[in-house]
Structure 1
Amino acid sequence: MASSLLVYAGLTDVADGFLARRFKMQSVLGTILDPAADKTLMTTLTITLAMKGMLPVPLAVVILGRDVLLSLSAFYIRYTSLPQPKTFKRYWDFSIPSAEVRPTQISKYNTFLQLLLMGFTTISPLLPFDVAAPLIALQWIVGTTTIWSGASYLFSKDAVRVIAQKGPPKSS
């Protein structure tokens, strides 16, 4: 059942992304909700598999730690790039874009590898052969790409773009 839900979530995410690009249906809210849904899925899988002893706790800490740090960074960037006046209501008003975060290439690979690891870990007890060695290798790869991905946001000048704000409307 869990494997079926994981496949379903992955396929619907791919379909959603394809349709949004194909029909140019991208929105500020969509650029927030889609990654948030992906992170919710990854967080749930990571915590559940670590609690079941199927994913090493240090790897779970790396995966979740990166996401927490990126989320905190996003809140900070939103606050610092939001034009005045900075109010709670304006902070959560996504019709006022202030910054755009673009996934780095390693981050895209990392997302794929994390999903592959979660899927492989989920189905591993059902397989009639031992997959411990490839699973451990994949865990090391994911740990490495997760750290690399987090660092790429810190050191890439193209990952975050502050959207230039126009001055206040002039009265006639």
Structure 2
Amino acid sequence: MPSPQSPEPSLPLVSDGSVATPPLRENIYTIPNLLTVSRILSCPVLGWSILHDDFFLATGLLVYAGLSDVADGYLARRFSMHSVLGTILDPAADKTLMTTLTVTLAMKGLLPISLASIIIGRDVLLSLSAFYIRYTSLPAPKTFARYWDFSIPSAEYNTFAQLALMCATTVTPILPTQYNLFVPEMQILVAVTTVWSGLSYVFSKDAVRIISETRKQPPPS
């Protein structure tokens, strides 16, 4: 005699009769996210070391930032530890690191004030754009609580070229004089690409990658 099968649990219905799907949530307490947070927390020490001419400590912190960035990316891919919070924390860590370097290096006279103003101005523009993009890409309902719920898909950015310039500028004071990292040429390149990328983010619909997930409704029975 065949054993009876337990009935499949039914999903709740909304007022129009369609199936209500549970809200998307994910585990945000992962090692990659912890590594990313550690990079953010190291930024005040990095800024202090630059202002006090301790460029060896600053370089060590930059090496840690680079290695931890590679490590959290590898762990997220290898062990499927991806999270939407990670897509927000990772560019936030890059921005925090870059802003710390930009401000402190400009204060020490190692970075032109004009270039620092362009970089900071671009980031302010992108930050304002990011809030708008998050609102428009957030799945309904658009409530205040869900707007600040970073386990819901949103958007991400990357500023590799600017970080490369800041790292080269930070390392230069401890290198022998015969080593040329082409910092002036990099400054010109970053100035041009910073303006270009800032405008492209604002005016090009394809410049920002929206991270979103949709659920397929089950076929009617």
TM-score (structure 2 length as normaliser): 0.63
Superposition pairs of residues 8-157 of structure 1, within 5 angstroms = 8-97=64-153, 99-101=154-156, 103=157, 111-129=159-177, 134-154=182-202, 155-157=204-206
Distance 1:60 1:156, change over 3 A: same
Question: 2:102 touches 2:111 (CA, 8 Å); kept in 1?
Answer: yes
| Structure 1 position 51, deviation (Å) | 0.8
The answer for unaligned runs of 5 or more in structure 2 is: 1-56, 216-221
Distance 1:127 1:161, change over 3 A: closer
Q: Secondary structure at the match of 2:194?
A: helix
| Structure 1 position 158, deviation (Å) | 5.6
| Structure 1 position 81, deviation (Å) | 3.3
User: Percent same amino acid among aligned pairs?
Assistant: 64
Superposed CA deviations along residues 15-72 of structure 1, whole A, max 9, x for unmatched, are 1112212322211111101111111111101100011111011111111111111111
Distance 1:14 1:163, change over 3 A: closer
Q: Which has the larger radius of gyration?
A: 2
Distance 1:62 1:17, change over 3 A: same
Aligned counterparts of 1:123 and 1:133: Cα–Cα separation in 2: 9
Q: Secondary structure at the match of 1:128?
A: coil
> Counterpart of 2:51?
none
| Structure 1 position 165, deviation (Å) | 6.3
Question: 2:165 touches 2:183 (CA, 8 Å); kept in 1?
Answer: yes
Aligned counterparts of 2:164 and 2:212: Cα–Cα separation in 1: 34
User: How many pairs does the alignment contain?
Assistant: 159
> Counterpart of 2:11?
none
> Counterpart of 2:210?
161
Aligned counterparts of 1:61 and 1:18: Cα–Cα separation in 2: 34
Letter of the structure 1 residue corresponding to residue 137 of structure 2:
S
| Structure 1 position 124, deviation (Å) | 1.6
The answer for unaligned runs of 5 or more in structure 1 is: 167-172
Structure richer in helix, relative to its length: 1
Aligned counterparts of 1:53 and 1:32: Cα–Cα separation in 2: 31
Q: Secondary structure at the match of 2:182?
A: helix
Aligned counterparts of 2:90 and 2:135: Cα–Cα separation in 1: 21
Q: Secondary structure at the match of 1:123?
A: helix
